[in-house]
Structure 1
Amino acid sequence: MTAAHVIADDAEAVAVAAALADVFRAGAGERDAARRLPREEVERLSASGLLAVTVPAEHGGADVGAQTLAEIFRLLGSADGSLAQIPQSHFVYVQVIRRQGTPDQQKFFFAEVLAGRRFGNAQSEAGTRHVQDIRTRLEPRPDGSHLLNGVKHYCTGALFADWIPVLARAGDGTPHVAYVPRDAPGVTVADDWDGMGQRTTASGTVRLVDVPVPADRVVPHHLTFQGPQLHGAVAQLLHAAIDTGIAAGALDEAARFVRTSSRPWFESGTESAAEDPLLIQRFGELALEVRTAEALLREAARTVEASRARLTDDSAAEASIAVAAAKVAAARAAVEVAGALFEVSGTRSALDSLNLHRHWRDARTHTLHDPTRWKIQHIGRYALNGTRPPRHGLL
């Protein structure tokens, strides 16, 4: 791997993301239709330096704020809802190192990230009682190292990773994160993701059989939740940004199609579909959905930044609730706008060869990540009774 560029500040980070989004947008439909994994695009993402923008300044990174990070993901999501998903876990697990890593671990892994190395994801498991029923185990060895055993599903980005962070339980039952090289003995990554949407995220299966893990590659993740924390808020903020981007991308696609390819309805009396007053009304409604999601995303990111500056139980709760509101609005906008694309564009837009349905498939798939109904519950409890949301990393 050639040395990655080092981004200097927030402004450069957003500019780089915008330029990459323009490049990625051009081939998104073809990649999805052929299920061609975006290996070249992921390499370009690494080389750009964008994956290192949250590395702390004292370690040589730009240490960008939450508003910048959300905008990066919104831009990428507007271009390609699959490609935007791939680095989400990367930033989450950079954050784990930042919060719970030892100084030596931080020095090593932040240097890796600045060099363009990528973190994947091996977190979720299938067939368990619920999402937090983690059965993967870190078994201690006499020399202080561990053996790692388990099977992980929905491992987004693992095929592209240099390091795969694995969520596992230690001997005492507490959750830890083991950072495992992609090519470590006993690690197998299967490209078996067959979702209807986000088809090129490489969210396959990771199998771990007696994988040796040195003691200094394990981070005590359970400590993250023993005090005020923003782990879940930041992770969910990125998901909200992806959904907001998908909504904006679908709206832009619909507008372009109506302007260039749609015929006016004969009763409208207009020369073009873009002049039809009923279509104009519907586009106004859809634009309001997108603008609402964007505004709530910006507000959530500002709240996360303010909370980080004065982290308390109350400020962490405010951040989680603000992000939950943004995620609910973004999920609704993504599904509605991506579906309405066909309503406003007409019959021809449903042709499979145009692949306009990728926006809806991406939205419908990504918004299943965690249920918005529970976010609304926590928003309601907080609004009515002042009940702080729980510390479980998904809010």
Structure 2
Amino acid sequence: MTSVTAHVIADDAEALAVAAGLAEAFRTEAPVRDAERRLPYAELEQLSASGLLGVTVPADHGGADVRQETLAEVFRLLASADASLAQIPQNHFVYVNVLRRQGTTEQRKFFFGEVLAGRRFGNAQSEAGTRHVQDIRTRLLPLPDGSHELTGVKHYSTGALFADWIPVLARAADDNLYVAYVPRNADGLTVVDDWDGMGQRTTASGTVRLDAVTVPADRVVPHHLTFRGPQLLGAVAQLLHAAIDAGIAGGALAEAAEFVRTKSRPWFESGVDTAAEDPLLIQRFGELDLQVRATEALLGVAARAVDAARDELTDASAAEASLAVAAAKAHTTATAVLVADALFEVSGTRAALDSLNLHRYWRDARTHTLHDPARWKIQHLGRHVLNGTRPPRHGLL
């Protein structure tokens, strides 16, 4: 369990300053953590202590309640330094949002207090071997005393190994979706560190096994009710994924520029003394910078659309937010992979040395962008442009 004393961040400006400082601190050892698969326990304690995990807690519960534009920038900054570290708290903020939407007064009071104290939420959401991502087979069954019994197996459970609380997505006897907030040390709950992805190596996105885990009634939230009206749960979740991809792209571009300035030799035909003066390399860096600037701009547009919808939530504003996030996510997906790959193109043969571990940017980008298909983001954009069709309320858009 988290044992730190967490700072409480006051406002958006402080959140951004704290995130920038943590990003610089995390950047130094990021290549080694990835190469050795050194799990970031100490860094996550720093994250908890910093107060960043509590920045979306509502003001009436003592939090800064920052804008989503600020939260997206926090994630972009962290991901530019270490995409695995940035990925770990993504679900934390999603499940804080679930409580904000459907938690009772007492649930919000208790869990927001936990979050402000630096406690971390993991997740046990996705399942393997089912028909599709929304085919959830983990079951939450009632017990005679009013509590529930939770049974199932979850995969890709990012953050669970490091969590104080693990939100579990499950279906009740009525087949509706609920979220059960389960302590990491609950009897019958096992977290297996079996993640072996080629990228995001230190997210520990392994398996969670739930064997007749008892859950009190006041730790269960009716998640299905969220989608019966306009909602931003999916837009916020996807916005943070887009911010991670944008961070990877920006980090890869900065790494490539530093490598060319300090380690690359000019091509003999260029007639210049340093690689940084090579006109063809200058041109290519300009093209890559243009791509990164465009993706960051779309991220900002999407975040502001989510903020606008939060201020006045309607079917129309929720749809606009989801579409803006879809556009950003499709663009950041392409940009992260493109720039991480181009790092080698502009840096030359030496950049491929395994000892430098520059390929972590590409591995992280390629792995993270598989989270959900960008082609479906584009599909919903097209449907809206041609036919005015609003995006569906399924929490993944």
> TM class, shorter-chain normalised?
over 0.9
Instruction: Tell me what 1:361 maps to.
Output: 363
Residue 68 of structure 2 contacts residue 307 of structure 2 at CA under 8 Å; is this kept in 1?
A: yes
CA distance, structure 1, for counterparts of residue 261 and residue 4 of structure 2: 43
Instruction: Tell me what 1:288 maps to.
Output: 290
Shift of 1:6: 0.3
CA distance, structure 2, for counterparts of residue 105 and residue 246 of structure 1: 35
CA distance, structure 1, for counterparts of residue 334 and residue 289 of structure 2: 13
CA distance, structure 2, for counterparts of residue 333 and residue 217 of structure 1: 40
The answer to whether the aligner puts 1:351 opposite 2:316 as a matched pair is no
Shift of 1:371: 0.1
The Cα RMSD (Å) is 0.4
Instruction: Tell me what 1:28 maps to.
Output: 30
Provide the secondary structure at the position in 2 that maps to 1:82: helix
1:91-150 C-alpha deviation (Å, 9 max, x unpaired) = 000000000000000000000000000000100000000000000000101111000000
Letter in 1 for 2:89: P
Shift of 1:383: 1.0
Provide the secondary structure at the position in 1 that maps to 2:153: strand
The answer to whether the aligner puts 1:378 opposite 2:385 as a matched pair is no
Provide the secondary structure at the position in 1 that maps to 2:156: strand
Instruction: Tell me what 2:159 maps to.
Output: 157
Residue 4 of structure 2 contacts residue 48 of structure 2 at CA under 8 Å; is this kept in 1?
A: no
CA distance, structure 2, for counterparts of residue 391 and residue 335 of structure 1: 28
1:6-60 C-alpha deviation (Å, 9 max, x unpaired) = 0000000000000000000001000000000000000000000000000000000
Provide the secondary structure at the position in 1 that maps to 2:379: helix
Shift of 1:2: 2.8
The answer to whether the aligner puts 1:301 opposite 2:307 as a matched pair is no
Shift of 1:385: 1.0
CA distance, structure 2, for counterparts of residue 130 and residue 331 of structure 1: 21
TM-score relative to the length of structure 2 = 0.99
Instruction: Tell me what 2:240 maps to.
Output: 238
Instruction: Tell me what 1:122 maps to.
Output: 124
Provide the secondary structure at the position in 1 that maps to 2:238: helix
Instruction: Tell me what 2:115 maps to.
Output: 113
Provide the secondary structure at the position in 1 that maps to 2:29: helix
Instruction: Tell me what 1:174 maps to.
Output: 176
Instruction: Tell me what 2:333 maps to.
Output: 331
Equivalent residue runs for 1:14-93 within 5 Å = 14-93=16-95
Instruction: Tell me what 1:275 maps to.
Output: 277
Identity of aligned residues (%): 78
TM-score relative to the length of structure 1 = 1.00
Provide the secondary structure at the position in 2 that maps to 1:83: helix
Gaps of 5+ in 1: none
CA distance, structure 1, for counterparts of residue 31 and residue 100 of structure 2: 36
Residue 4 of structure 2 contacts residue 45 of structure 2 at CA under 8 Å; is this kept in 1?
A: no
Provide the secondary structure at the position in 1 that maps to 2:63: coil
Provide the secondary structure at the position in 1 that maps to 2:167: strand
Gaps of 5+ in 2: none
Moved over 6 A (4+): none
Shift of 1:376: 0.2
CA distance, structure 2, for counterparts of residue 287 and residue 98 of structure 1: 38
Provide the secondary structure at the position in 1 that maps to 2:211: strand
CA distance, structure 1, for counterparts of residue 384 and residue 289 of structure 2: 29
